[in-house]
């Protein structure tokens, strides 16, 4: 089963992936966790170019193609081989991030963008996608709390995040595999909700 996690920066995706991995492994499943951009030696190199604060002159088209190139490699080198063996693949971001960030955030044409994504991911369409939704004020306070060093994309101002969030909500309406999760709840509650959806999917109720 292929599950992707989406959300604005600091939405708590990685905590949820950690909890889900533990839970699935305890139940005897083989679980592979990947993060985007990255996850293979080539993709990690592309990640460094994308997030490097020195690369301020990068145009949006380059940004989109680099994310997609990193993804195409990850799909063929890691995701598809594991799915073939019936493993769980959990991905911290996937192609929906490109639609939300590069499409809605940066204004790259959505149709073109989706076509590029279809080419990049091929058969690796997620079974379920969790969008962990948090209000913008919460991002600001988490940023301060974590005293985080921000990467090139996180340095964007909040009107950018407003557009990115709209992109996710657009996808949630459009794509059946999307589940919108209230990220303001405690991490245990969020985890429970995620498990509920996975169990529903697995029992075939939602297919």
Q: Which of 43, 73, 91, 102 binds ligand TYD (CB under 6 A)?
A: 102
Check binding of 91 to ligand TYD (CB under 6 A): no
CB of 28 to ligand TYD, least distance (A): 28
CB nearer to ligand TYD: pick between 147 and 203? 147
55 class by beta-carbon count within 10 Å (0-12 exposed, 13-18 middle, 19+ buried): middle
3 bridge partner residues: 90, 128
CA-based torsion, 128, 181, 170, 91: positive or negative: negative
Spatial separation of the C-alpha atoms in residues 188 and 29, rounded to whole Å: 21
Q: Which is nearer to ligand TYD, 29 or 119 (CB)?
A: 119
Quick one: how far is CA 130 from the chain centroid? 8
Question: Pick from 31, 32, 46, 67: which binds ligand TYD (CB under 6 A)?
Answer: 67
- Least separation in angstroms between residue 86's CB and ligand TYD is 25
Local structure of residue 207 (DSSP, 8 states): -
170, 168, 143: which is closest to 5 by C-alpha? 168
Could you tell me the smallest distance in angstroms from the CB atom of residue 105 to ligand TYD?
7
**Least distance CB 200 / ligand TYD (angstroms):** 26
Mark the segment that binds ligand TYD (CB under 6 A) among 24-32, 91-99, 172-180, 186-194: 91-99
- DSSP E strands in 39-145: the ranges are 88-92, 128-133
Tell me which residues touch ligand TYD (CB under 6 A): 9, 35-37, 51, 67, 92-93, 97-98, 101-102, 151, 153-154
């Amino acid at each position: 089963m292929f599950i992707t996690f989406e959300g604005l920066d600091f939405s708590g995706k990685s905590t949820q992936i950690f909890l889900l991995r533990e839970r699935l492994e305890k139940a005897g499943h083989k679980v592979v966790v990947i993060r985007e951009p990255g996850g293979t030696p080539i993709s990690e190199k592309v990640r460094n170019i994308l997030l490097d604060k020195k690369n301020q002159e990068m145009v949006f088209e380059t940004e989109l193609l680099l994310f997609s190139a990193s993804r195409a490699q990850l799909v063929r080198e890691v995701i598809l081989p594991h799915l073939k063996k019936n493993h769980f693949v959990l991905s911290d971001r996937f192609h929906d991030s490109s639609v939300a960030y590069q499409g809605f955030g940066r204004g790259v044409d959505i149709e073109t963008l989706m076509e590029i994504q279809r080419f990049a991911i091929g058969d690796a369409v997620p079974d379920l996608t969790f969008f962990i939704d948090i209000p913008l004020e919460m991002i600001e306070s988490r940023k301060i709390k974590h005293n985080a060093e921000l990467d090139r994309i996180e340095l964007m101002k909040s009107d950018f995040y407003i557009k990115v969030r709209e992109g996710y909500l657009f996808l949630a309406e459009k794509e059946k595999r999307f589940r919108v999760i209230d990220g303001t709840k405690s991490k245990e509650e969020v985890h429970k909700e995620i498990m509920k959806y996975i169990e529903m999917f697995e029992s075939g109720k939602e297919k």
